[in-house]
Amino acid sequence: MGEKFWVKEEKGMAESVLGVEACEFLITSASKNLLNDLVSPPVNLGVQQGLGKIVEGSHWNYVIFWYASGLKSGGSVLVWGDGICQDPKGGGVVHGSTSADGELEGVEKRKVKKCVLRKLHACFNGSDDGSFAASLDEVSDVEMFYLTSMYFTFRCDSAYGPGEAFKSGRPTWASSMASCLDHYHLRSVLARSAGFQTVVFLPVKSGVLELGSVKSIPEEHDSVEKLKRSVWGF
């Protein structure tokens, strides 16, 4: 379901939360139905427990495993494999400041985010599931970033984010908001709203680990190896 699935008001609402470029990317991506083109869709990856070890008791707010798969039409992509999110203590950053574009705050902003997530869910899953929207309750900016990321994909040869780490085979560790936003690329509007100060892209077996935090977390000499061991045990 692509452009025709979005009325003008809905698209404008999505752009206010996601950013114009991210909104266009997701609308186009939904119309291509990429999952049907995957050679090996992500099923039973067995990484949930390891991802939980990374987040539990740490300053990391989320961890995502991007799974690498070939495409039947040629090339390869990184798609959502699994992930875990924990909101900052004290409950997110939804109120108290205005968004980059200036207008949405408080109750109105939460309502808009919920509507955008419901529309994305319907767009990618083929139906408007009311129970999905009901389960959202109150969505913080960190959760909004995390839940929206489920619908993104990255070419394995791209020049930014998880694609860059996969292509180069080298980890990326950015621990300031300015450098984070460069690496988040299409998701930078969402990342700015969430207030992320650190992002890590770590090439691993079968894909890339992505971690983010609203705190600045400096890289230590064994940080990368510790993260790998948490998920795969070696």
Average pLDDT of every residue of the chain: 84
pLDDT of residue 163: 96
pLDDT at 84 over 50: yes
DSSP letter assigned to residue 63: E
Ranges of beta strands (E only) in the chain are 62-70, 76-85, 153-155, 172-174, 198-204, 207-213
pLDDT of residue 168: 95
DSSP per-residue codes, 127-158? S--HHHHHHH-S--HHHHHHHHHTT-EEETT-
Token code pair at residue 149: 């990321």
Give all domains of the chain, ordered by start, each with its CATH number.
Answer: 3-232 (3.30.450.40)
* Cα angle value 27/133/181 (rounded, 5°): 50
Position 140: which residue type?
Answer: S
pLDDT at 210 over 70: yes
Q: Is the pLDDT higher at 10 or at 1?
A: 10
Measured distance CA(168)–CA(34) in Å, rounded: 24
Q: CB under 8 Å to 42, separation ≥6 — which residues?
A: 67, 69, 79, 80, 81, 82
pLDDT of residue 95: 27
Q: Closest by alpha carbon to 37, among 80, 82, 81, 69? A: 69
Centre a 10 Å sphere on the Cβ of residue 38 and count the other Cβ atoms it contains.
Answer: 17
Token code pair at residue 98: 């205005």
pLDDT at 207 over 70: yes
Position 45: which residue type?
Answer: L
pLDDT tens digits, 120-165: 988 887 666 555 655 667 788 999 999 999 999 999 999 999 999 9
Token code pair at residue 17: 């939360």
pLDDT tens digits, 28-64: 988 888 878 899 888 778 888 889 989 988 899 999 9
Measured distance CA(60)–CA(75) in Å, rounded: 32
Token code pair at residue 54: 């990374």
- CA-CA distances (angstroms) from residue 61 to 90, 124, 166, 207? 13, 25, 22, 20
Mean pLDDT of 75-95: 74
pLDDT at 85 over 80: yes
Mean pLDDT of 192-212: 94
Contact by Cβ (8 Å): 139, 117? yes
pLDDT at 183 over 80: yes
- Residue 4 CB-density burial (10 A; 0-12 exposed, 13-18 middle, 19+ buried): exposed
pLDDT at 197 over 90: yes
pLDDT of residue 99: 42
pLDDT at 92 over 50: no
pLDDT of residue 133: 58
pLDDT of residue 131: 57
Mean pLDDT of 176-182: 91
